[in-house]
Amino acid sequence: MPVVAQASGGPTALGPSELQGLAAVMRLLAQVGDVDALLSNHPSEPHDNRLHIGYSEAAERLNIPEKWLRERISTLPHRKFGKFVQFAEEDLRAISDMHFVNPGMADRKEHESAVMSLQPSKRSRKRF
């Protein structure tokens, strides 16, 4: 019969190989940052730490041609560092929101614009 060692109530000293294994596990957890991703065997996507991106990546993320962005840059939110145009995450979201279309809202906008066009001017007339 095999001899089973009894567990003592106090802490046990770890050998060098156990410490190396524990250090390797800690490094993996620090790299992954998420235990679920480590356990699911799916590599986590690399996190992009860049604050700003250029035309090509912005166009790719918005799924539009880069030329479209370049032609309309004067009307779109962006950052400018000297001659360099850059986009932040907020800029991309704002550009997307600027071009939101809700077909049900078209009738209301037409009605509001018709009402606005009928309102009198706030300028007073000179009376003679």
Tens-place pLDDT, residues 4-27: 555 555 566 777 778 788 888 778
Q: How far is CA 42 from CA 35, 36, 84, 90, 100, in A?
A: 11, 9, 37, 29, 34
Mean pLDDT of 85-108: 87
Beta bridge partners of 81: 84
Percentages helix, strand, coil for the chain, rounded to the nearest 5? 50, 5, 45
Task: Provide the pLDDT confidence category of residue 104 given band limits of 50, 70 and 90.
Answer: confident
* Domain ranges, ordered by start, for the chain: 55-98
What is the rounded CA–CA span in Å between residue 96 and residue 5?
65
Instruction: Please provide the distance, in angstroms rounded to a whole number, between the alpha carbons at the two ends of the chain.
Output: 121
Contact 62, 95 (CB under 8 A): yes
Tens-place pLDDT, residues 35-84: 565 566 555 556 667 899 999 999 999 999 999 999 999 999 999 999 99
